Chains A and B, each alone.
Chain A
Amino acid sequence: MNETLEKRHMGLKASRTISNTIIYIILILMSVIWLIPFICIVLQSFRVESTWQVGYVIPKQWGWDNYIALWNSDFRKWYFNTFLIALIVAVLQTVIVLCMSYTLSRFRFKLRDGLMRFMLILGMFPGMLTMIILYRVLKDLGLTQANAVPGLILVYVASSGMGYYVSKGFFDTIPKSLDEAARIDGATRAQVLTKIILPLAKPIVIYTILTAFMGPWGDFVFARYVSFGTSAGMNVAVGMYSWLQLDRIGQSYTMFCAGGVIVAIPVTILFMCLQKYYVEGVTGGAVKG
């Protein structure tokens, strides 16, 4: 009797060890698959012997040549453009999104439901459609090509009010009784926002800043429209995309890798530092839909 129990226990333990081993193998394999492209990028960025694509990973000759070439190219300008856009957009977009989401979470006014439904419907139109016209409007305002940076900032910030869902979901979780208590004590609505809600909303504020900052680094289509072939107005995505086109890839492939590393480093560091808030925002937002 006792023996069989022990055997069963042993069996359970063995099967758990086996399943855990399988899981470890899968996880290690996954980590490798997920990291390989990035390791390759880093390695290729140090390859000196040739600038085109090759069929091996480890460079035969190491050096900083690609980074030096990068420094001497338009990349510096693109990088500055993108950084500037990301910085300004991060601030302004956060303000707009917070205004929008706080209002829709806390106030009950006549047009509120209609407004939310309207924005839901607006969101179903492919954004691609509006690019042509936005481009023409910016062109009329003189904010394209070399002046693309303010133009891009304007468009990113102006249309950011639609992305209020995640932070509204967060505000919804802050109890309304807090507002009411402050109101009874004589605080105005504005004071409730600045003195009570904002200090509590730190995670979502950071989440919004983080996503707003990361967005412009990856924007490609609209930025390409607006800069329209003028190098001075490009962001990193548009500029580096041109390096991988058929006519340039032979000379610029390794430079692209070096550029990728330089772009990824600050964003990744920032992201890893604020990861906690990002996870909170993403999980909260998905649950609220």
Chain B
Amino acid sequence: MKKYSDLEFLKLSKGQKFVYRLTSFFAAIPRAIARFFLAIGRFFKNAALGIGREFADIFTTFKEGDWKTRASFLVMGLGSIARGQVLRGLMFLLFEAVFLFYMITTGGYWLSLLPSLGRIGPHEEYNAVLDAYTTAYGDNSFKILLYGVLTIFFIVAFLYTWRLNVKQNKIAQEYQRAGRRLKSSADDLRSLVDEQFYKTLLALPLTGIVVFTVLPIVFMILVAFTNYDGAHNGYTNALFSWQGLANFRTLLTWTGSGVNYSATFGEILTWTLIWAFFATFTNYFLGMFVAMMINKKGIRLKKLWRTVLVMTIAIPQFISLLYVSKMFAKNGIVNGLLLNWGWIDKAIDFWGSTAHNGLLPRVMVIVINIWIGIPYLMLIATGILMNIPADLYESSRIDGANAWQQYTKITLPYMLFITGPYLLTSFTGNMNNFNVIYLLTGGAPTNAAASGAAGSVGYTDLLVTWLFKITTGAEAQYYLASVVGIMVFVVVAAISLVVYNVLPSIKNEEDFQ
């Protein structure tokens, strides 16, 4: 393709610029992939070099260290205590003690079973008291996987701390040799509310994120490589075990007969993308339109219109969504009124109609999502529209621009530029919009063609609601849910990557400050 210089690029029209950016993005993909692999190679090379340097440094620290330093290699913090940095030393010592205690009492056990996920499953055992065979429970695969991962996290943290401890000793030794004063415990404490205040602030939030977000995500990624499901729950009925890539193969290969996961997955993914597209852009444009109407000069009671809309944000979604879903039920108010007025002779099955691949329920969820989303978008758009310099409109009117031209040449570009990142997060957020779908339809109506595959798949099911359905019920194919979750991640990441590279408004973060 033709490459433009900066000057030539500036001369292009808006559309051409966009097309150019898009094509050059895709044209750059082969090179990006090559660069990616090169980067991976470089990463490993650097990592190897770095590790080599670390080991060399550890070795020289030991060789040149005095007894305090050397002792710290075995008993962490000893050197610090001996040099008068008592607080620091005690922290190191305490961490080591906790770590050793954990590893000896339980950590070693979990780690040793991690490769097999448990050896002894539930089995019949002779019970002398009852004089009968009863079920005895052996290992618990779920706990082995969970605590195994936790133990690995802990080991990594320990290695890092140990390395820190060695480094500290080296620095302290050099300081003392040079005759400089070491930081006292009081200094350390003071630094935690001053230079290193960020450590104090981040300690709690990051611990929470690691334990309650990172650990579960790592766990669930690993589950995708096992056969964890309702029939192999890891404790009461059978152990589960590693399966390699078998689950990914199940989901992605076209079997053609019987339960066809790949077809189901493809169908749901398509609807998820369609839904996300419409849910995002209908809200966006209609919300902007409403904001412009309310903002228009000469419209009175601006505050009232806004308040009416904003009030609906306050009401918890489960109330409004559930209620609206019941309003449109077969025996709901809407059908009742339409029948009473004689506009229809037979109740419309808003949520159950499977005609045209469930077109009616699909349109309904998008329309009701507009009802939910417009107030929010109206707020955002109002804030931004007020920031557009008024003289832009003045001068364009003098130049004879009409309202439509003003909209397409001033308002829309400005809005798109500012809200680009928001549109992206809103798109990916809609892909994972569990609440709207689940509370409105629960995924209904059932898609007869696809319902053979795990859980009963409906026409309005998104990937997330499907994922949820897979994990409930007796079958509870957790491994499949994990695979689907990973696929959702892949799709979201891919979309974000493309958009981030094409969007004009991704600016340097520091620009805002």
Contact = CB atoms under 8 A, between A and B. Distances in A.
Given A37-B324, A99-B204, A124-B493, A283 B379 contact: yes
Interface stretch (B10-18, B238-246, B256-264, B294-302): B294-302
Given A57-B333, A130-B216, A257-B323, A27 B305 contact: yes
A47 to B, nearest CB: 12
B318 interface: yes
B198 interface: yes
A271 interface: yes
Task: Tell me what chain B mostly uses at the interface: helix, strand, loop, or mixed.
Answer: helix
Nearest to A183: B194
Interface in B172-205: 190, 193-195, 197-198, 200-202, 204-205
Contacts of A40: 323, 327, 333
Interface string A147-162: 0000000110111111
B383 A190 contact: no
Nearest to B206: A161
Given A107-B197, A172-B513, A268 B209 contact: no
6 contacts: A37-B320, A55-B340, A100-B201, A133-B146, A240-B322, A275-B310
Nearest to A38: B315
Contacts of B209: 119, 122, 158-159, 161-162
A27 B294 contact: yes
Contact of B217 (A27, A35, A125, A160): A125
A173 interface: yes
Interface stretch (A3-11, A66-74, A199-207, A214-222): A214-222
Interface in B198-229: 198, 200-202, 204-209, 211-217, 219-220
Contacts of B379: 279, 282-283
Contact of A188 (B194, B294, B333): B194
A158 B318 contact: no
A113 to B, nearest CB: 9
B371 A103 contact: no
Contacts of A88: none
A244 interface: yes
Contact of A283 (B198, B214, B382): B382
Which one of A193, A236, A264 has the highest number of Cβ atoms from chain B below 10 Å of its Cβ?
A264
B315 A176 contact: no
B331 interface: yes
Interface of B: 142-143, 146, 190, 193-195, 197-198, 200-202, 204-209, 211-217, 219-220, 290, 293-294, 296, 298-299, 305, 307-320, 322-324, 326-327, 329, 331-333, 335-337, 339-340, 371, 375-376, 379-380, 382-384, 418-422, 424-425, 428, 432, 434-435, 438-439, 463-464, 467-468, 471, 478, 481-482, 485, 488-489, 492-493, 496, 512-513
Task: Tell me what chain A mostly uses at the interface: helix, strand, loop, or mixed.
Answer: helix
A126 B202 contact: no
Interface in A212-232: 214, 217-218, 220-221
A56 B217 contact: no
Interface in A1-60: 16, 20, 23-24, 26-27, 30-31, 33-35, 37-38, 40-41, 53-57
A244 B329 CA distance: 12
B336 A129 contact: no
A287 interface: yes
Contacts of A240: 318-319, 322
B34 to A, nearest CB: 22
Counting chain A residues whose Cβ lies within 8 A of the other chain, the interface size class is 35 or more
Given A124-B428, A272-B314, A288-B512, A134 B333 contact: no
Contacts of B471: 132
A103 B201 contact: yes
A79 interface: no
A286 interface: yes
A184 interface: no
A234 interface: no
Contacts of B307: 272, 275
Interface string A75-110: 000000000000000000000110110110001010
Given A127-B432, A190-B193, A283-B383, 8 more contacts: A34-B309, A125-B217, A217-B316, A241-B318, A260-B323, A268-B315, A272-B310, A272-B314
A79 to B, nearest CB: 12
A160 B208 contact: yes
B212 A38 contact: no
A287 to B, nearest CB: 6
Which one of A30, A99, A244 has the highest number of Cβ atoms from chain B below 10 Å of its Cβ?
A30
Contacts of B434: 128, 221
A283 B432 contact: no
A259 B319 CA distance: 9
B314 A20 contact: no
Given A27-B305, A37-B320, A129-B485, A159 B212 contact: yes
Nearest to B383: A283
B439 A220 contact: yes
A121 B332 contact: no
Given A99-B201, A122-B214, A244-B322, A267 B432 contact: no
A195 interface: no
A125 B218 CA distance: 11
Nearest to A171: B513
A289 interface: yes
